[in-house]
Structure 1
Amino acid sequence: MSNDLSNEQKETLIINNSSQLPESSGFQTGPAKYEVVRLLGRGGFASVYLVKNLDLDRLEAIKILSGDLMDSEVLERFVKEAKISANFNHQNIITIYEVRREGDWDAFIVPNKIKERHREPFTYFTMSYVEGRTAAQLIKKEGCLSTKRVLKIAIGATKALERLFTGISNPKTL
């Protein structure tokens, strides 16, 4: 099954506000800031979608906490994940742009099917979108990876962990 949304699923409701900018401004004229492009992945904890940031004209990812997990402990862990990631600037760590605890669909152009899956208010964070596959997806698709490829992945992960745990990126200071 493809993660791409069908034309039927792309039915959207766009509400324009009365204080519109001229179309030539390059900014979104209604309240919508993001357009959902497709589902990237779903787990027991959250769903991740590819979205287009309409103001900045770039692709981002949005991670939305599953609605049935909205107890305070899970919510705090979810927000903590975003805050920890947001405090690091490293090529091997996803950049967090925005966190919302009580989000609503007014900021999105989104299919009704997704609205039904994630009822308002919902908690989400937006982050940089990185094309490609995860290590788990690579192994599932290709089987055993070459030593060179495994080392490349491991070195990138090690550099990210080093940055997270020590804040040091210079081997001379370790």
Structure 2
Amino acid sequence: MKKFEEKTISTENIFQGRIIQLDVDTVSLPNGHTSKRELVRHPGAVAVIALTKEGKLLLVEQYRKPLEKSIVEIPAGKLEEGEKPEVTARRELEEETGYTTDELTWVNSFYTSPGFADELVHIYFTDNIRPLKEAIGTDEDEFVELLELTLEETEQLEKEQRVHDVKTSYALLFLKLKNKNI
């Protein structure tokens, strides 16, 4: 709504990294005052809810430095410049799990932290996966362990806060609702 719009007066780039950019915008507020906004710019990401023929969910355990711990997540990764989300989804599924698919269904897209970041995550679903003939492997600075778990096993990990990110919690909710045919 226009009545809430903040108009950018100026932008100062504070940091330009491999993954994110940090800007500080000076904005004009709806009441005529000005304020500063710290903004994290991110190219976006994808995540894949992938089920085996046995109905097990593909997950990866990975150390997350900002959290100073390992968590269990659905396969996910950053969009490359100019890459379509479904291409990224298939690539990340292959790199992180050793599986591929010809059938990806878009589920939803959501902003992870709209108060300060513009990262948009696209979620895809597949229950038609097959192992790759030859493993691709992850990026050289990425270390993951593949897990194939039932919904109940994954929910237990969520209770233990080993599943502790929104995209994976979203995936669990999606699967519960899908199982109930709601």
Q: TM-score interval w.r.t. the shorter chain? A: under 0.3
More strand, by proportion: 2
Give me the TM-score of the superposition, normalised by structure 2: 0.22
More helix, by proportion: 1
